[in-house]
């Protein structure tokens, strides 16, 4: 039997109830709030007491027509005629449980890796509980936290089966949308639901806590229908509306350029110490307003007022980490675009671990990097890096690479180089503007991040009312276009700057570039842009 709605799966935990809150009252309120399936989990209760609690819980669940499963104990499930059981890796094997339970009983199994998922499919599980996806205080974990970005490969192992999947572990209203987006597989396989203990049980208002989760879930599903259709654009945010052609791309870029100065968006930048000043100056020259703040204690306030966030790990230090983590977390919470620049990610294990943790905490709208950085992020050795620079001639097939990475990370990806490639996971645009002089000043890649962030802030402002009112997206607006505009504006300005009489070398080029950006007209970009749709 697998017609259960796994959307909002409550796992009970009486030990987490707020003081004075009655367990049955809490359970009933959560059912009223929209819980769709309940698992009774009693780790330290004698069998007789477990049966009593489970039986009384079932009476309440039956009123709301919500199925009830039992954690670990097939005997308890049989005693109360439960809908089924949830088994851990060390509990009774599925085949054994099947023999003992009624034919239509539901059997779920905990999975921590792809091997577990494949075995669960083979052994005939009805659903898998994938966890822990985040840190949790409700269970002492015996396996490492999976992290949302590693759930996708586990879901992919369920492609073509009727086995459902829920994620569990540390899921809160504040990270739910990130969990839903970040777990989707490259094949478009999304979770069937989420399982929670503390977010509902520890709440003094379980009905409200449940409704909040239910609203986020339905917002996500409204924007990303489940199961996903064949041609859904499963990237995190927006895409170029209508037909994609060089003309439509340029029209969109012109609109962004003509909006940015009047809008003067605030662009919060957590960037490296080498480029902070020139990034701030370039942001100003574009018509946006920079704030270069790194202190974690002000991240929530800044996320509320900023148009976009840039996170650049160029001069990464341990003490920056908290600010980057919280900055992105609050940007997601307030639905502001995040541009992520994983500078030199392949250079050290520290950078790699940091990038992994950041991307597991928040969802970027745009990731930009050179071939070496993006190869390290994708986990391929096809292109090598030396520190923050890329070595060699780049990817054999940059178009397929950038598209696959965008699909995997569910965001827009910008691969920089002589030709810049930008993808939203569905389409790829290549841009052939720029000048070798950009390579003669430090941090031209980093300031590109600032340009992209400024135009993503503008694109978010231009999102349609319908999109602004939707709940399922972590950032609203056309991030693909924002990224394209950022690249085009900087590279076209570089071409114009080198022609200036006052530009005589790298030093004057930087000031010439800032002056050119300041005076750049949308006509210049329209006339000079070299845009192709791949």
Catalytic sites, residue numbers: 446
DSSP line for 93-148: -HHHHHHHS-TT-EEEEEESSHHHHHHHHHHT-SEEEEE-SS--SSS--SS----G
Q: How far is the CB of 4 from ligand LCLJCK34 (least distance, A)?
A: 12
Q: DSSP of 272-288, one letter per residue?
A: -TTTHHHHHHHHHHHT-
- Tokens (6 digits) for 230: 């064949």
The H or E element that residue 252 is part of is: helix 246-263
> Which residue from 198, 235, 278, 423 is in contact with ligand TZP, where contact means CB under 6 A?
198
39 interacts with, out of ligand TZP, ligand LCLJCK34, none, CB within 5 to 8 A per kind: ligand LCLJCK34
CB of 127 to ligand LCLJCK34, least distance (A): 8
3-state secondary structure of 3: coil
Least distance in angstroms from the C-beta of 175 to ligand LCLJCK34: 17
Whole-number minimum distance, CB 139 to ligand TZP, in Å?
A: 4
- Which residues have CB under 8 Å from 450's CB, separation 6+? 267, 269, 271, 279, 280, 282, 283, 290, 310
Burial of 266-290, coded b for 16+ CB within 10 Å and e otherwise, reads: bbbbbbbebbbebbbbbbbbbbbbb
Task: Work out which of 30, 138, 271, 433 binds ligand TZP, going by CB under 6 A.
Answer: 138
Q: Which partner in ligand LCLJCK34, ligand TZP, none is near 198 (CB below 5 to 8 A by kind)?
A: ligand TZP
For the bound state, the minimum distance from the C-beta of residue 110 to ligand TZP, rounded and expressed in Å, comes to: 7
Binding of residue 194 to ligand TZP (CB under 6 A): no
Interacting residue with ligand TZP among 82, 168, 359, 457 (CB under 6 A): 168
For residues 225 and 248, what is the distance between their CA atoms, to the nearest angstrom? Answer: 27
Residue 73 touches which member of ligand TZP, ligand LCLJCK34, none, C-beta under 5-8 Å by kind? none
Q: How far is the CB of 34 from ligand TZP (least distance, A)?
A: 16
Residue 217 as a binder of ligand TZP (CB under 6 A): the answer is no
| Cβ nearer to ligand LCLJCK34, comparing 153 with 441 | 153
- Taking each helix axis from N to C end, the angle separating 246-263 and 479-497, rounded to the nearest 10 degrees, works out to 80
How far out from the chain centre does Cα 451 lie? 22
- φ and ψ at 274, to 5 degrees? -70, -40
Partner whose binding site includes residue 252, from ligand TZP, ligand LCLJCK34, none (CB under 5 to 8 Å by kind): none
In the region spanning residues 325 to 344, those forming contacts with ligand TZP, defined by CB under 6 A, are none
Residues at the site binding ligand LCLJCK34, with contacts judged by CB under 6 A: 9, 11, 39, 41, 71-72, 86, 88, 91, 108, 110, 129, 131, 139, 166, 168, 195
Count of residues in contact with ligand TZP, rule CB under 6 A: 14
Interface with ligand TZP (CB under 6 A), residue from 196, 260, 376, 388:
196
Q: 194: Cβ–Cβ under 8 A, 6 or more apart, which residues?
A: 7, 8, 9, 166, 167, 168, 171, 176, 179, 180, 213, 217
Q: Whose Cβ is closer to ligand TZP: residue 171's or residue 377's? A: 171
Write the DSSP string, 371-407. HHHHHHHHT--SSEEETTEEESS--SSHHHHHHHHHH
Contact criterion met (CB below 8 Å) for 412 and 423 = yes
Contact between 170 and ligand TZP (CB under 6 A)?
yes
Distance separating alpha carbons of residues 169 and 175, to the nearest angstrom: 11
Binding of residue 171 to ligand TZP (CB under 6 A) = yes
Binds ligand TZP by CB under 6 A, chosen from 67, 131, 206, 445: 131
Which entry of ligand LCLJCK34, ligand TZP, none binds 461, CB below 5 to 8 A by partner kind?
Answer: none
Instruction: Give 170 or 445: the residue with its C-beta nearer to ligand TZP.
Output: 170
Return the one option of ligand LCLJCK34, ligand TZP, none that residue 132 interacts with (CB less than 5 to 8 A, by type).
ligand TZP
108 is a site residue for ligand TZP (CB under 6 A): no
ω into 468 cis (within 30 of 0): no
Q: State the SS3 of 20-52.
A: CCCHHHHHHHHHHHCCCEEEECCCCCCHHHHHH
Task: State which residue, 86 or 226, has the beta carbon closest to ligand LCLJCK34.
Answer: 86
CB of 409 to ligand LCLJCK34, least distance (A): 26
Choices 166-174, 314-322, 392-400, 476-484; region in contact with ligand TZP by CB under 6 A: 166-174
Pick what 166 binds: ligand TZP, ligand LCLJCK34, none; C-beta below 5 to 8 Å, kind-dependent.
ligand LCLJCK34
Over the window 60 to 89, marking each residue x when it contacts ligand TZP by CB under 6 A and - when it does not, the resulting string is: ------------------------------
Q: Nearer to ligand LCLJCK34 by C-beta: 171 or 460?
A: 171
Judging by beta carbons within 10 Å of its beta carbon (0-12, 13-18, 19+), is residue 331 exposed, middle or buried?
A: buried
Residue of 410, 492, 486, 501 lying closest to 223 (CA atoms): 410
Binds ligand TZP by CB under 6 A, chosen from 106, 132, 213, 388: 132
**Cβ-defined contacts of 76-79 (< 8 Å, 24+):** 76/40, 76/47, 76/50, 76/51, 77/101, 77/105, 79/51, 79/54, 79/55
Angle between helices 444-461 and 276-286 in degrees, nearest 10: 40
User: Binding residue for ligand TZP (CB under 6 A) from 12, 30, 36, 136?
Assistant: 136
Pick the closest to residue 407 from 381, 378, 385 (CA basis).
378
CB of 47 to ligand TZP, least distance (A): 20
Residues lying near ligand TZP in the complex (CB under 6 A) = 11, 131-132, 136, 138-139, 168-171, 196-199
């Amino acid at each position: 039997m697998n017609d259960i709605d796994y959307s909002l799966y409550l796992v009970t935990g009486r030990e987490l109830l707020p003081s004075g809150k009655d367990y049955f009252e809490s359970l009933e309120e959560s059912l009223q709030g929209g819980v769709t399936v309940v698992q009774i989990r009693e780790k330290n209760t004698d069998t007789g007491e477990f049966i009593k609690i489970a039986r009384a819980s079932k009476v309440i669940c039956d009123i709301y027509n919500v199925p009830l499963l039992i954690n670990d104990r097939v005997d308890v499930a049989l005693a109360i005629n439960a809908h089924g059981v949830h088994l851990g890796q060390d509990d009774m094997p599925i085949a054994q449980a099947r023999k003992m339970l009624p034919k239509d009983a539901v059997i779920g199994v905990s999975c921590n890796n792809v091997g577990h998922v494949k075995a669960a499919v083979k052994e005939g599980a009805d659903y898998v509980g994938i966890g822990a996806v985040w840190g949790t205080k409700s269970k002492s974990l015996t396996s490492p936290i999976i992290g949302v970005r590693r759930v996708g490969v586990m879901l992919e192992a369920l492609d073509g089966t009727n086995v459902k999947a829920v994620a569990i572990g540390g899921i809160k209203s504040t990270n739910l949308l990130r969990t839903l987006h970040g777990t989707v597989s490259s094949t478009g396989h999304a979770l069937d639901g989420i399982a929670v203990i503390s977010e509902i049980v520890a709440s003094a208002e379980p009905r409200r806590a449940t409704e909040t989760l239910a609203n986020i879930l339905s917002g996500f599903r409204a924007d990303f229908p489940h199961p996903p259709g064949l041609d859904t654009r499963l990237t995190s945010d927006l895409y170029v509306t209508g037909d994609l052609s060089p003309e439509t791309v340029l029209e969109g870029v012109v609109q962004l350029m003509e909006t940015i100065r009047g809008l003067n968006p605030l662009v919060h930048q957590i960037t490296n110490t080498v480029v902070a000043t020139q990034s701030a100056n370039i942001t100003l020259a574009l018509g946006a307003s920079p704030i270069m703040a790194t202190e974690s204690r002000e991240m929530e306030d800044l996320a509320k007022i900023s148009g976009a966030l840039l996170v650049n790990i160029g001069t990464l230090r341990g003490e920056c980490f908290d600010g980057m983590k919280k900055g992105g977390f609050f940007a997601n919470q307030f639905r502001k675009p995040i541009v992520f620049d994983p500078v030199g990610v392949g250079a050290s294990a520290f950078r790699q671990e940091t990038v992994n943790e950041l991307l597991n905490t928040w969802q970027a709208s745009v990731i930009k990097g050179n071939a070496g950085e993006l190869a390290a992020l994708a986990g391929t050795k096809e292109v090598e890096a030396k520190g923050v620079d890329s070595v060699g001639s780049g990817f054999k097939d940059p178009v397929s690479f950038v598209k696959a990475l965008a699909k995997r990370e569910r965001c827009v990806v910008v691969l920089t180089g002589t030709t810049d490639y930008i993808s939203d996971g569905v389409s790829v645009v290549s841009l052939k503007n720029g000048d070798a002089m950009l390579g003669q000043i430090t941090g031209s890649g980093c300031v590109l991040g600032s340009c992209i962030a400024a135009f993503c802030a503008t694109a978010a402002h231009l999102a349609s009312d319908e999109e602004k009112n939707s709940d399922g997206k972590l950032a609203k607006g056309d991030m693909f276009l924002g990224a394209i505009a950022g690249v085009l504006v900087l590279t076209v300005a570089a071409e114009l700057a080198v022609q200036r009489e006052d530009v005589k070398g790298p030093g004057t080029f930087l000031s010439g570039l800032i002056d050119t950006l300041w005076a750049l007209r949308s006509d210049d970009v329209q006339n000079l842009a070299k845009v192709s749709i791949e």
